[in-house]
A and B are shown apart, each in its own frame.
Chain A
Amino acid sequence: MSATVLLAQTLNGLQLAMLLFLLAAGLTLVFGIMDLINLSHGTLYMMGGYFAATVFQATGSFWLAAAAAVPLSFLLGVALEVLLLRYTYRRNHLDQVMVTFGVLVFFEDLVRLIWGNTSQRLAMPDLLQGQVELLPGVVYPIYRLAIIVLGVAVVVALYLLVQRTRLGMLIRAGASNRRMVSALGVNIGLLFTLVFAVGAALAGLAGAVIGPLTSVEPGMSNSVLIPAFVIVVVGGIGSIRGALVAALALGLIDTVGRTLIAAGLHGFLPPAMASGITPALASILLYVMMAAVLVLRPSGLFPAPGR
């Protein structure tokens, strides 16, 4: 297998990692700080895509669409948290799973009702279309590179937010010890709403950004929700750094790993069978990774101290 393919797949892996990181970051914060298992995080991702698609179809501008998706998702997050999810904080995890499951199911039908079953159009902007030559003879889609750049920008922004601002300090403290933070006189309700909404905004951004590559349709969150949870578990609940590391691992395994497996199988299995088994084996690898991490480090790679 050539180096070109390997490079391309590595970049694909990075791109997938960035996308998943956007999702997982919000999820891990919400779980870490509010102790909330949020199955409806996928909904926020999906709605981000739909917000963007709607704006795009109205204005024809991808940039406007992507820009609009962020505050709209943020607001949706606020609404969800204030109107419903804050009543689940005191409840045990099973009930939270049930309630957020209900939200997920509700929104799936809601988008079907409003937008129908078919996928929505959300096209790449002209600026990011086409390919660029990275190395002699190696081309790669510009849009995917842009996603990687976006991801890195978000990582840096989150780092600055968490390490350098007061809000970030509260977030870090809250991830380790919720009660202490509220004992310090901080308005916990507001903090929680903010954290949730920021997570929602990130998820919405991911949904908007992935639109041109895949499709904006009901059920689009199915393929990313569980990987996002796996990342949270592997990375350590409440840890953004952990989410990043785990997202990179997962992204690379799912792309580079998949390619390597396919190449290996094609060596000695009939092509149809090899193609058939590859996704399953790649998934197996993923879950083996999760299991292995949990065995060696039951609280994930970088558990927030105090867990």
Chain B
Amino acid sequence: MTVTDVLGQLGRGVRRMPAVRFAGPIVLAMLGLLPVYAALSGDSYVLSFATRMLIWAIAAVSLNLILGYGGMPSFGHAAFFGIGAYAVGVMSHHGIDSGLIQWSVAIAVSAVVALVIGALSLRSRGFYFIMVTLAFAQLLYYLAQSAYTYGGDDGMTVARHSRFGGWINLADRPQFYYLCFALLLAALFMTERIARSRFGRVLRGAASNDRRMQAIGFPTFRYRLTAFVISGTMAGLCGALFANDILFVSPSMMSWIRSGDLFAMVIIGGVGTLYGPVYGAVAILGLEELLMPWTEYWRLIFAPILIALVLGSPAGINSLLAGRGAADGRH
């Protein structure tokens, strides 16, 4: 009896429980009420931790769009994250604090870079696509490392939060949290609509059988590229959020290890499902948080759990919760 067998049986056991169909909305509701809990209990740390979780969840949602629905395994997604963060950091460094300008630049640059990377990479499939996207991300990583004016390898602090005038004060934790939460809801809603739309069907069809799609008349390349740009832009916005969260930017944000973390969140949570990325972000960051106080070497416990999850539940946490064949998330 191998590890895989045991886990498989466990998984089946869990699935036999009354299908927790509303797991997704429940998790979201809990996240929504978190600031209330934080205020009542006086625990401000949980709020900042959860903020980070939200930001990563949005980034995972963006990756899920192209990886899960579009079948494009991008291993360089952290690069867009970094671009958004650096947009905020660099502009702040030069005295431009306006959130509108900073974030517009973050979005615009992410979009353009995604367009370029996508246009060059999307001719490759599968493993080659992983390699090419990884290569481009590494490129940007090296560029960030060699940018001495902006901290180079050590990174640089961001002096101030992005300013949005009277609209919202990002320095105020609860406000910032709800902004991220609102953006997560928007990202999920967008994914839901896109997946069901004509555009989403072309994307999913191309992931399933690109050759057939072209034979029936779809110029699949432009649709996949569009999805890639949307995804990269979303990740860029996350970077801007992150820069505001920790008031720091560094090349490590764009490292391929980060891309790997994002990848893990999508796969573990349930690739190609709606709530999967959220489960994945919560699970992985939650696990890290749980383990870190115990030992400095928490990855020794984290890694085997990660491996066990991948081997034991190929369809991710989403399938554990929703039960086989549930309509939850699958379109």
Q: Is the CB of A106 within 8 A of B139?
A: no
- Chain A, 130-173, contact with B by CB distance < 8 Å: what is the 0/1 string? 00000000000000000000000000000000000000000000
Residue in chain B with minimal CB distance to A91: B314
Q: Which residues of B contact A229 (CB under 8 A)?
A: 131, 134
Q: Is the CB of B139 within 8 A of A283?
A: yes
Is B178 located at the chain interface by the 8 A CB criterion? no
Q: Is the CB of B146 within 8 A of A277?
A: yes
Q: A94-B73, A105-B302, A283-B138 are in contact. Are A99 and B311 (CB under 8 A)?
A: yes
Smallest CB–CB gap between B117 and chain A, Å? Answer: 11
Q: Which residues of A contact B2 (CB under 8 A)?
A: 87
CA distance A272 to B299 in the complex (A): 38
The listed residue (A91, A95, A109, A294) touching B299 by CB distance below 8 A is: A109
Q: Is the CB of B138 within 8 A of A226?
A: yes
Residue in chain A with minimal CB distance to B302: A105
The listed residue (B4, B127, B148) touching A93 by CB distance below 8 A is: B127
- Chain A, 215-238, contact with B by CB distance < 8 Å: what is the 0/1 string? 000000000001001100100010
Q: Is the CB of B135 within 8 A of A287?
A: yes
If over half of B's interface residues share one DSSP class (helix, strand or loop), that class is named, otherwise mixed; here it is: helix
Smallest CB–CB gap between A261 and chain B, Å? Answer: 13
The listed residue (B4, B264, B303) touching A87 by CB distance below 8 A is: B4
| Residues of B in contact, count (CB < 8 Å) | 46
Q: A84-B307, A105-B303, A233-B131 are in contact. Are A287 and B297 (CB under 8 A)?
A: no
Is B132 located at the chain interface by the 8 A CB criterion? yes
Within 8 A of A (CB), among B118-165: 120, 123-124, 126-128, 130-132, 134-136, 138-139, 142-143, 145-148
- Chain B, 82-108, contact with A by CB distance < 8 Å: what is the 0/1 string? 000000000000000000000000000
Is B306 located at the chain interface by the 8 A CB criterion? yes
The listed residue (B134, B143, B260, B307) touching A103 by CB distance below 8 A is: B307
Q: A109-B300, A291-B120 are in contact. Are A99 and B307 (CB under 8 A)?
A: yes
Q: Is the CB of A102 within 8 A of B310?
A: yes
CA distance A99 to B300 in the complex (A): 14
Q: Which residues of A contact B69 (CB under 8 A)?
A: none
Q: Is the CB of B128 within 8 A of A233?
A: yes
Q: How many A-B residue pairs lie within 8 Å, measured between CB atoms?
A: 115
Q: Is the CB of B314 within 8 A of A95?
A: yes
Is B263 located at the chain interface by the 8 A CB criterion? yes
CA distance A98 to B267 in the complex (A): 8
Smallest CB–CB gap between B182 and chain A, Å? Answer: 31
Q: Is the CB of B264 within 8 A of A110?
A: no
Is A279 located at the chain interface by the 8 A CB criterion? yes
Is B177 located at the chain interface by the 8 A CB criterion? no
CA distance A93 to B71 in the complex (A): 12
CA distance A15 to B14 in the complex (A): 54
Is A97 located at the chain interface by the 8 A CB criterion? yes
Q: A105-B299, A272-B148, A279-B146 are in contact. Are A284 and B139 (CB under 8 A)?
A: yes
7 CB < 8 A contacts A-B: A94-B263, A99-B310, A99-B311, A109-B298, A109-B300, A276-B148, A280-B139
Residues of A within 8 A of B (CB): 37, 39, 84, 87-88, 91, 93-95, 97-99, 101-103, 105-106, 108-110, 112-113, 226, 229-230, 233, 237, 272, 276-277, 279-280, 283-284, 287, 290-291, 294-295, 298
Known pairs A39-B260, A94-B67, A102-B306 / 15 extra A-B pairs, C-beta < 8 Å: A94-B271, A95-B311, A98-B264, A105-B302, A109-B299, A109-B303, A113-B300, A226-B135, A226-B138, A276-B146, A276-B148, A280-B143, A284-B139, A290-B132, A291-B135
